[in-house]
């Protein structure tokens, strides 16, 4: 069973520091390519995060985001605090200023509250030091498991599509195999008629004609190409249905290159309009395989 390289997974856990959340998105890429986004102070974990992801994701462009929503877990601790000492000092200074300038109006709360410094945000600890590494590892693995599940579901859809294209290829190969001998018979009859016309009704040298047909048969022979093409299709099917968990995308890509090579050779040896058209149809189906396999892990 194949897996797609397109996937998404997420996981979160409430801790004393806040809600720790991991989100992973993947798209197709020839190799494993991870882009990690972590809060300040978590840079030290990037190599560990990559090692946690590797057993789950062997190929693809991976976007990993770690975030900590502290407000969600500590809403009561996010309320501003009063710096009473600073407020008293502002009050004293304002009172001194009032006396020096002989201002009759008293200093009141409205005057003091204009100084925003008397209200301060609560002090917070270093989240990177407070969050347990095991929590991040578990969340990473849980999110990666979700990515794999989605990749497998998408892979099943891709597999059905690939199998349809393989059936179309097999049908085209059957048509080519049936048409190949007919073109030799048609060429033999054409040569016999041409020789008879040139010799003005004299008997045709059957031995010489047989040699010419044998030469053409060798030149136009596509049996080896058909055998190799069918072998590639068989191996492709085996890879699609293998139970092994190892990635098969690169192997499928190689088989597609070989199929395309055989389709080109069949087209060059065709010497027949129907075979040539079928060779073009083969190449189109192989190209459709290639487009889909680009997203196979």
pLDDT digits (tens, 9 = 90+) for 33-44: 999 999 888 888
> Token pair for residue 166?
């393989």
Q: What CA–CA distance (Å, rounded) separates 249 from 289?
A: 11
The closest alpha carbon to 233, from 135, 158, 146, 166, belongs to: 166
- Per residue in 220-268, pLDDT (tens digit) is 678 888 999 999 999 999 998 887 567 888 899 999 999 999 999 988 8
Write the CB contacts of 15 (distance below 8 Å, at least 6 apart in sequence): 73, 131, 132, 135
Q: What CA–CA distance (Å, rounded) separates 285 from 70?
A: 53
| Measured CA distances, 264 to 96, 248, 255, 260, 269 (Å) | 96, 25, 14, 6, 9
Q: What local confidence, expressed as pLDDT, does residue 205 receive?
A: 65
- Asked whether residue 17 carries a pLDDT value surpassing 90, the answer given is no
């Amino acid at each position: 069973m194949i897996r797609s390289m397109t996937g998404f997974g997420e996981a979160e856990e409430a801790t004393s520091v806040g809600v720790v959340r991991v989100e992973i998105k993947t798209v197709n890429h020839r190799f494993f390519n991870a882009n990690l986004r972590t809060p300040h102070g978590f840079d030290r974990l990037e190599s560990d995060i990559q090692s946690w992801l590797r057993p789950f994701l062997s190929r693809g462009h991976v976007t990993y985001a770690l975030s900590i929503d502290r407000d969600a877990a500590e809403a009561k601790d996010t309320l501003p605090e009063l710096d009473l000492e600073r407020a008293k000092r502002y009050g004293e200074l304002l009172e001194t200023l009032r006396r020096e300038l002989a201002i009759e109006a008293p200093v009141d709360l409205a005057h003091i509250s204009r100084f925003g410094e008397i209200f301060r945000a609560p002090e917070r600890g270093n989240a990177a030091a407070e969050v347990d590494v095991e929590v991040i590892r578990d969340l990473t693995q849980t999110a990666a498991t979700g990515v794999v599940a989605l990749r497998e579901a998408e892979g099943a859809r891709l597999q059905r599509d690939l199998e349809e294209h393989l059936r179309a290829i097999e049908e085209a190969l059957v048509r080519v195999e049936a048409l190949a001998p007919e073109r030799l018979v048609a060429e033999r009859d054409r040569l016999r008629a041409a020789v008879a016309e040139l010799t003005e009704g004299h008997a045709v040298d059957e031995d010489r004609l047989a040699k010419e047909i044998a030469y053409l048969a060798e030149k136009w022979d596509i049996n080896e190409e058909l055998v190799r093409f069918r072998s590639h299709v068989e191996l492709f099917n085996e890879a699609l249905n293998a139970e092994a968990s190892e990635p098969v995308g690169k192997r499928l890509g190689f088989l597609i290159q070989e199929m395309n090579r055989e389709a080109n050779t069949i087209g060059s040896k065709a010497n027949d309009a129907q075979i040539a058209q079928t060779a073009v149809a083969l190449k189109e189906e192989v190209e459709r395989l290639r487009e889909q396999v680009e997203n196979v892990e």
